[in-house]
Amino acid sequence: MTFGNGITHPTPDATLPRQPQIIVCGLGRTGFRIFSLLRQQGADVIGVNPTPLPQGCYPSHDIVVGDLQAAATLQRAGIEVAHTLLLANSDDALNLAILTQARLLNPQIRIINRLFNASLGERLDQTLPRHVSMSVAALAGPLFAFAALGNRAIGQIRLFDTTWPMHEEIIREDHPWRGQPLRGLWESRQRMLIYYWSAQHRIDLVSAVMAGHRLQPGDRLIVATRPARSRPHQRSAAQAWRRLMNTLHQVRRRSRAALTVLLALMLTIAIATGTYVGTSLDTSLVDALYFAVGMITGAGGQEQVAETATAAIKVFTAVMMLVGAGVIGVCYALLNDFILGTRFHEFWNVARLPQQQHYVVCGLGGVGYRIATQLQTLGHEVVVIERDAQSRFLGAAKALNLPVIIGDASLASTLETVQLKRAAALVAVTSDDTVNLEIALTARSVAPRLAVVVRNQDPEFAQQVQQVFEFDQVMSPTELAAPAFAAAALGGRILGNGMAGHHLWVAIATLITPNHPFCQQTIKALAPTTDLVPLYIESQGHTIHGLDLLEFVLQSGDILYMTLPASRLEQLWRHTATPLITP
C-alpha cells in the first residue's frame, strides 16, 4: 500500500486489527475530506464509517465499516494501538459516546473531537487529558469574515491573540513586490512569510532570505497578514440627520397601526366633546372634554352632562360608550404589544442600525455568529438578519450589542431596512444553501455593486455557483475547516493552517527539550533539511523576530513558533519524545 509520500506499507490481513497512527471516525462530508487530506499528506490513517463508501473511493482495507460506538468496530480499526482518534460526526451525542468507548479501550489515545457545543468542548478540554475540541463554525467563521473584507484567505494563524489571514501572492510582471528583496518583506511586523516557491531555483524561504534573493515573475509566496482594525468613523452632521430621519421613518412604519388607533380615539373624544358643547350652552368645553374622556375610558366623571340632556344625547352617549370601549381596548392592546412585546425591540434595533460601510450577516447560526463577532472585533459595524426568533445565539449577540433584525433576508424590503445599498458587503450563511442563493440574488437586485459572500456546503457546487452568478466568493465551511482538523490530528498545538493546491501547511508551537532534534541548532541550519519557516521564538521571557531569528541557537526551554508542511509534522512527533506544546 503506497501513500502520497511514496512510502510503501504491506497490506495487512483484513481480519486482523490495523495499527494506524490516526483513526477518523465518521466519514460524512467533513470526515471524508479530513480522511482524504491525511492520506494526501502521507499519514497512516484508517477511516471508520457505519456504511460502506462508494466503490473506488479508497481500498476496502483502509475503511472499517460497522457501528461507530461498538468496541468491536473500534478494535478492528486498531484503537488499542492508535495514537490519535478524530471524531468527525456532526452529532455531538454520537461523538461523546464514541469518545467514552475509545478511552475505555485506550486510555492514552489522543482525541480530536468535533463539537457544535463550544462550552461543552471547553469543559471536556479542561477535564480530559489529551482531548482537543474543535468546531467547523469556529474555524470557518473568521475566513468568511476576511472574505467579506475582500481578502481571499486560504487559511489562518492565531498569533499574539489575533487571527491572521493567510493568502497566496503570485508575482507577476506588474506586481508591486516584483524585484523586492525577500529580506525586506521578512523584517516587516505587519506580515509573516509562510512559504516560498522560486520559479528559477529550488530553495527554501530561509535560505533565500539569507542569500538576498529578490522576487521575480513566477515566484509564489504564502503570506499571513496582521488584520487592520477599523477606526470608528466620526459621524458628520449629515450622517446624524440621516440617522434621525431613518429613526422617524421606522417609528412611522412600525407603529402605523398603533398611531391609526390613537388617531381614531382622539377623533372619537373630539366628536363627543363637540357634541356636548354644541347641544348644551351651559356646559363648558373643559367639562364636556372631561366627561367625554371619562365616558370612553370608563373612568367616569361629570355624569350630569348626560343626565340632564335630551333623549337623543343620551342615545348618542350610549353609542359613544360602546365605540369608545372597542377603540380603547384595541389601543391598549397595540400599545402593550409595541412597548412590552417584540415590536419595540425590533424598532430599537432598526433605529440604531449603521447607515453606511457596515456588514450585513444573514443567518445567526454558529458560522454567522462567529463572522459577526470577528468583524466587530476588527472594529467594523455589523447588522445581523435572522429568521428564527428563538435562535440559540440571539442572547449572545444582544450581549455583544449586535443589532439583530428578525426577518426574512430573502425579501428586498428586509434588506432595504438594513440600508443594504450603503453597506460594504453582505454575507449569506444560513444553514440552507438554497436560501443563501436566494438571499444573494435578492441582494444583487437591491444593490448590484455590493460585495456578496455566500455559504455552500458542497465545495464543487460552490465553485460552479461562483462562476455562474459571479458572486465575490462562494465558500464551503467543510472545505475551510477540514485542513485544521487534519493538522490537529497530525499532532501538537496547531496555531493555524493553510492549503495551496494539494499542499497543507501548519503553524505549530514546539517546546525545545534537551532531546529535541532542533536543540543547539540555528534556524538557518535547520531550514534547508526540515522545510520549516520560523515565525518567532520565545526565549527567557523575550520574543525574537526578524533576521535575528535566523541566527538564533535554540536552547532547552525555548518555544519555537513555526510553519512547515503537514507531511513533516508527523515525522517530528514520531521521532521526538515531547516535541509539541499540546492544548
CATH number of the domain enclosing 106: 3.40.50.720
CB of 140 closer than 8 Å to CB of 368: no
42 and 109 belong to one structural domain = yes
Both 26 and 99 in one domain: the answer is: yes
Q: What is the pLDDT of residues 545-576, one digit of tens each?
A: 888 888 899 998 888 888 888 767 655 654 44
How many CB atoms lie under 10 A from the CB of residue 294? 16
Among 134, 151, 170, which residue terminates a domain?
Answer: 134
Of 5, 66, 2, residue with least CA distance to 41? 5
264 within some domain: yes
- CB–CB of 455/481 below 8 Å? no
Whether residue 350 sits in one domain with residue 251: no
**Model confidence pLDDT, tens digit, residues 373-409:** 999 988 899 999 999 988 989 989 988 888 888 899 9
419 within some domain: yes
Backbone phi, then psi, for 81, in 5-degree steps?
Answer: -120, -5
Among candidate residues 340, 366, 394, the one where a domain is terminated: 340
Contact indicator for 406, 389 with CB cutoff of 8 Å: yes
Q: Do 255 and 356 sit in the same domain of this protein?
A: no
At residue 19 the predicted structure's pLDDT band, cuts being 50, 70 and 90, is low
125 and 29, same domain (yes or no): yes
Alpha-carbon distance of 285 to 125, in angstroms, equals 76
Residue pair 148/381 in contact (Cβ under 8 Å)? The answer is no
Say if residue 544's pLDDT is above 80: yes
How many of the other CB atoms lie within 10 Å of CB of 385? 28
147 part of a folded domain: no
Domain for residue 473, yes or no? no
Cell numbers given for 285: 368645553
358 with 449, same domain? yes
| 433: CB partners within 8 A, 6+ apart | 455, 456, 457, 458, 461
Q: Are residues 30 and 113 in the same domain?
A: yes
* 354 and 438, same domain (yes or no): yes
In terms of C-beta density within 10 A (0-12 exposed, 13-18 middle, 19 or more buried), how is residue 328 classed? middle
Whether 495 is in a domain gets the answer yes
- Map residue 406 onto helix, strand or coil: strand
Q: Please indicate, yes or no, whether residues 336 and 349 belong to a single structural domain of this protein.
A: no
User: Is residue 48 assigned to a domain?
Assistant: yes
Query: What pLDDT is stored for residue 578 in this prediction?
Result: 42
117 and 31 share one domain:
yes
Q: How many structural domains are present in the chain?
A: 4
77 and 102, same domain (yes or no): yes
In the β-sheet with 110-114, what is the strand arrangement from edge to edge? Answer: 63-65, 45-49, 22-25, 84-87, 110-114, 131-134
* CB under 8 A, 24+ apart: contacts of 14-19: 14/60, 14/61, 17/75, 17/76, 17/77, 17/78, 17/80, 17/81, 18/46, 18/61, 18/64, 18/76, 18/77, 18/78, 19/78, 19/81, 19/82
- The answer to whether position 295 is within a domain reads yes
| β-strand pairing of 220-225 with 162-170 | antiparallel
Residue type (1 letter), 149: L
- Measured over all CA atoms, what is the biggest interatomic distance in the chain, rounded to whole angstroms? 114
| Structural domain containing residue 563 | 491-572
Closest CA to 370 of 436, 455, 256: 455
Confidence of residue 274 (pLDDT cuts 50, 70, 90): confident
With a cut of 60, say whether residue 9 has pLDDT above it: no
CATH of residue 279's domain is 1.10.287.70
Q: Which of 124-138, 229-243, 279-293 has the lowest mean pLDDT?
A: 229-243
Cα 50 to chain centroid distance, Å, stands at: 30
Residue 168 identity? E
Residue 68 · residue 48 · CB < 8 Å: yes
Q: What is the pLDDT of residues 318-377, one digit of tens each?
A: 777 777 777 777 777 766 665 555 555 555 555 567 778 899 999 999 999 999 999 998
User: 430 pLDDT exceeds 90?
Assistant: yes
Residue 5 confidence (pLDDT): 36
Phi, psi of 258 (to 5 degrees): -65, -40
Which position has the higher pLDDT, 299 or 23? Answer: 23
Is residue 519 domain-resident?
yes
What whole-number distance in Å separates Cα of residue 137 and Cα of residue 372?
Answer: 12
Could you say which of 340, 371, 406 is where a domain stops? Answer: 340
Give the cell for residue 128. 480530559
Indicate the DSSP class of residue 226.
P
Q: Report which residue type is found at 319.
A: V
What does the mean pLDDT of the chain come to? 81
130 and 60 within one domain: yes
Each residue of 487-529: pLDDT tens digit?
A: 888 765 678 777 766 677 778 888 788 877 888 999 888 888 8
Please tell me the distance from the alpha carbon of residue 381 to that of residue 423, in angstroms, as a whole number. 10
Distance CA 479, CA 466 (A): 15
Q: What pLDDT was estimated at residue 115?
A: 94
- Mean pLDDT lowest for which of 213-227, 253-267, 342-356, 393-407? 342-356
pLDDT tens per residue across span 29-45: 899 999 988 888 778 89
Output the CA torsion sign for 290, 291, 293, 298. Answer: positive
